[in-house]
A = this chain, B = another copy of it.
């Protein structure tokens, strides 16, 4: 008898976030689930790993599901590494990260702890998907998202993923019947224009909060932002080879 697929679940909003609870629910339908996730929000952590301090890992029970769960004080990437090295008996068949509260489309992929966990999975040779819902609220409705999570996770369990590729899935904030389907495309060219919120603390010292305005520079119809704006779920294949291959030739001038 074929064993059930082993699925590792993580996120960056923390192990008690409604988004990861929705993700666990769907994964329990598809396989044997182990959760290793941060004990507190880790948004914006990118591909950070904990080098200069110690890591903890504690088994926890959060709901009545059949999954095993562990919380860690590490980043999302730490969670994936520790799960593989310290908890799982063999490499998982699938890693899913999310469902993130808020967008990881366009340039957000670079800053995203959710997506970095998925990218770490792909570095380790494991099919990995990051899911995000375009709704920052804690009480966001994850029901429509769950439909697409199920569909895409099933496809990846069946067809696997090419080596070195993870999927970045973003889901519009819409009722299920208004979502038109899935569009596969590329990361839109975009940027955050920073506007720091400068304040003075009660002791007279200036401090800053990061704020900013998201700017889309891309008018392409094959981008993740175009898909989302047109009521589609966006899927972007993402790689950890950062080489700008098209430009290697140009820089050969430095070899002289």
Q: Is the interface of A mostly helix, strand, loop or mixed?
A: mixed
The smallest C-beta distance from A244 to any residue of chain B, in angstroms, reads: 4
Question: Assuming A81-B194, A191-B124, A242-B109, is B44 touching A49 (CB within 8 A)?
Answer: yes
Number of copies: 2
* Stretch from A25-33, A61-69, A90-98, A245-253 contacting the other chain: A245-253
**Complex Cα–Cα for A164 and B243 (A):** 11
**Complex Cα–Cα for A256 and B216 (A):** 28
Cross-chain contact A242 with B110 (CB below 8 angstroms): yes
Cross-chain contact A187 with B243 (CB below 8 angstroms): yes
Centre residue among A50, A107, A242 by max chain B CB count within 10 A: A242
Cross-chain contact A255 with B44 (CB below 8 angstroms): no
**Complex Cα–Cα for A153 and B148 (A):** 47
The smallest C-beta distance from A109 to any residue of chain B, in angstroms, reads: 6
Cross-chain contact B243 with A57 (CB below 8 angstroms): no
Cross-chain contact A84 with B194 (CB below 8 angstroms): yes
Centre residue among A155, A222, A241, A250 by max chain B CB count within 10 A: A241
Cross-chain contact B236 with A182 (CB below 8 angstroms): no
Interface residues on A, range: 35 or more
The smallest C-beta distance from A194 to any residue of chain B, in angstroms, reads: 4
**Complex Cα–Cα for A56 and B119 (A):** 31
Residues of B within 8 A of A252 (CB): 184
Cross-chain contact A248 with B254 (CB below 8 angstroms): no
Residues of B within 8 A of A46 (CB): 45-49, 77, 116
What residue of chain B has the Cβ atom nearest to residue A107's Cβ? B123
A41 in contact (CB, < 8 A): yes
Question: Assuming A86-B198, A206-B57, is B47 touching A47 (CB within 8 A)?
Answer: yes
* Contact among B49, B168, B184, B191 for A210, CB-based, below 8 A: B49
13 A-B residue pairs with Cβ-Cβ distance under 8 Å, sorted by A, are A47-B111, A48-B48, A54-B209, A55-B196, A57-B208, A119-B242, A159-B253, A184-B251, A189-B241, A236-B242, A237-B244, A238-B242, A242-B242
Q: Sort A-B residue pairs by CB-CB distance and give the 5 closest, nearest first.
A: A46-B47, A44-B51, A239-B244, A237-B244, A186-B243
**Chain A residues proximal to chain B, CB less than 8 Å:** 41, 43-52, 54-57, 75, 77-78, 81-82, 84-86, 107, 109-111, 116, 119, 123-124, 151-152, 155, 159, 162, 164-165, 167-168, 181-187, 189, 191, 194-196, 198, 201, 205-210, 222, 235-245, 247-248, 250-255
